Amino acid sequence: MISAFKINKWAGITLAVIGFSAQAAPAPQHIDVKQYKKVEDVVVPLPNEVFAALNKLGPVNWKEFVRTEKGVNFSERPRTALLLGNVIADGFIAVQAQDAPAVKEIGQRVLSLAKGIGVGASITPHAKAITEAADKRKWDSVRQELDRTQSSVQGAMNELQDQKLSQLVSLGGWLRGTQILTAVVSKHFTQEGAELLHQPDLLRYFGDRLNSMPEYSVPVVESIKRSLVEVRPLIDTGNRPISPDAVRKINEITTRLDGEIVTRQ
Amino acid sequence: MNPHRQVIFILVVMPLILGATAIASVDDAQSFALQAAEPYVREGFQVREDYWGGDLAAGEKKAVRQQLFKGNEYWFWLGTEVRRAKVSVHIYDKEGKLIEQPDSWQKGSYAAAHVVPTSTDSYFIIVAIEESPEERTHWALVYGFR
């Protein structure tokens, strides 16, 4: 979300002058997308993006997915990175459930994990802001701080030239988000819900990233690599809809991976 | 300045100044993109903290590929701090078909594209510096959804 300190006053004045009535200049109706250089392979969505889409399909009992177990800390950095992404996703779930005590515990857990991986300093103000906003039940602010937390963690990792760890944070969050998405859709199957799993490029992106980090070849990373290969045909169905069986199977796989991420094996 | 100090200035201080200027410019571009987003926040759009940016020459384009979810509504805002530059942002599906809404807009150093995806898939956000008085123009792209 927008931070006041980021807003350039000149930008404000300029926008006030031009207003928002401008129309789009004509753009080509068709392009060859392959000819463009890409900034990012694929932008990884935050878990709350898919949760927002899921909420529109019907009521979800988010409380049943809230999790606040303290869990273990790992000495291996890739494991901690995956767990960090996973716990931040838990924070978004707790926000959906409007569970203030859970949000506060998760904020502290994120801080502890971030400290363990050497990026705690960038998280401390966010953890404090999460607690304050949760106390006031300002859910939009909590959501915003969770987003900032993930962004700061990844920014700090990138500054330390640990881009691969940063990618593991995204992967941990995506796996937990997918686990919840498939749990919700399995309970009350709809074609619209299953379609939210149609993310083949993202899956390919994660697979490529994992293959490019042989130095992080810990068992859980190897397990995720194999599992992504299993998941791919289930969601990359072309024009055919994703079946209830496929949704159930992906839930089993992501639940198994979640267990490997959060517990010491 | 004596020659010794000149050498120190050129080797140490100048790169720091230039580096700081480059960082500040991308951050400024982000400020402009966020400024364009501000009215939409009041309409309930959650603007993501991350942003994508860089610099491009006039006439150059770049693509950001992004997973979008059917059911959500998205706005992408592009900004640059170069006031006389003209930027654009447009959204295409995987087949290269323009899919943005007609209320997408472009005005000088700001542009915005609005999309309501009809399917959950990855899409291409094409950013361009259409015109600029600068050789390279910083740009930043932010997005929000509801």
Tell me whether residues A30 and B97 touch, CB distance under 8 A.
Answer: yes
- A240 and chain B in contact, CB less than 8 A: no
- A2 and chain B in contact, CB less than 8 A: yes
Tell me whether residues A39 and B64 touch, CB distance under 8 A.
Answer: yes
Tell me whether residues A151 and B49 touch, CB distance under 8 A.
Answer: yes
DSSP SS3 for A213: coil
Best residue in A31, A143, A153 for a mutation probing chain B (most B CBs within 10 Å): A31
Tell me whether residues B34 and A28 touch, CB distance under 8 A.
Answer: no
Domain chopping of chain B, boundaries? 3-145
In tens digits, what is the pLDDT along chain A, a chain of 265 residues?
A: 344 334 444 444 445 444 444 554 589 999 999 888 877 789 999 999 999 999 999 999 999 999 988 777 888 999 999 999 999 999 999 999 999 999 999 999 999 999 988 999 999 999 999 999 999 999 999 999 999 999 999 999 988 888 999 999 999 999 999 999 999 999 999 999 999 999 999 999 999 999 999 999 899 999 999 999 999 999 999 889 999 999 999 999 999 999 999 987 6
- A residues 8-67 near B, CB within 8 Å? 8, 11-12, 14-15, 18, 20-25, 27-33, 36-46, 48-50, 52-54, 56-57
ipTM of the complex: 0.89
Is it true that domain B3-145 has CATH number 1.10.287.70? no
Tell me whether residues A49 and B109 touch, CB distance under 8 A.
Answer: no
Q: CA-CA distance, B55 to B60, in Å (whole number)?
A: 9
Torsion of Cα atoms, B10 then B15 then B20 then B26, to 10°: 130
pTM of the model: 0.87
